[in-house]
Amino acid sequence: MSGPSSTDREPKPAPASDLSALRKKLVAARQALPDRLERSVRLQENLRAWLVGRREQSIGAYWPIKGEFDPLPALYRWSEGAVDGGARRVGLPVADRTTRSLRFHVWYPGCETELDAYDIPKPKGTEEFVPELLVVPCLGFGPGGVRLGYGGGFFDRTLDALSPRPATVGVSFTHGFLPFLRAMRSDDRLDALITEDGVMWQRP
């Protein structure tokens, strides 16, 4: 008897209703974490330590919503560590309703902001740039750097459009680990995944 075909072995997407329910549960669980502040402090430390060995000079991040980890304090500290007269840039995304992708504009503490098309704060009047590294929020994550987001596909479309493709590091609290989560495409995996417990995954 012949074995299963390659098509049979490919992961099949979960029903949209199942993913929607899972996302709601993960958001509620994250917002209900009694020690979220303590977890955030540890994750800040882990992200800062991981960035020490990186060569990128520009990072795109995100404005935290729905109880997400806030990476901006760690990234601002990273930006202050520029040497040899070089400038390090941190950017926040500006969502485009038409393409449903993201552009990144320089952010710094105290810079003027306004709401984007989805009512999320964005920098106002600062320079646009293409980041070399993206810090990506993960609602959930699986083995090998697989990410579960909110389902809008913004980061996926952005990565597909950027050339050269930025490196990616996902950040999440450990409660979001989903052992059954699998990538649907080879390029759906992050290059690294960091939680409050340390670096959970890094591409060899």
Q: What is the pLDDT of residue 183?
A: 82
Query: Are the C-beta atoms of 67 and 30 separated by less than 8 Å?
Result: yes
- As its CATH architecture, domain 35-202 has 3-Layer(aba) Sandwich (3.40)
Model confidence at 66: pLDDT above 80: yes
143 has pLDDT over 80? yes
Write the CB contacts of 125 (distance below 8 Å, at least 6 apart in sequence).
Answer: 112
Higher pLDDT: 133 or 15? It is 133
What torsion do the CA atoms of 37, 38, 39, 43 make, to the nearest 10 degrees?
A: 100
Q: What residue type is assigned to position 109 of the chain?
A: P
Higher pLDDT, 199 or 163: 199
Q: How many CA atoms lie within 13 A of 148 on its CB side?
A: 27
Q: Are the CB atoms for 23 and 152 separated by under 8 Å?
A: no
Element of type H or E holding 29: helix 16-31
Neighbours of 82 (CB within 10 A): 12
Interval 31-60: pLDDT, tens: 999 999 999 999 999 999 999 989 999 999
Average of pLDDT values for 101-106? Answer: 94
**Does residue 44 or residue 161 have the better pLDDT?**
44
pLDDT digits (tens, 9 = 90+) for 78-89: 999 877 667 899
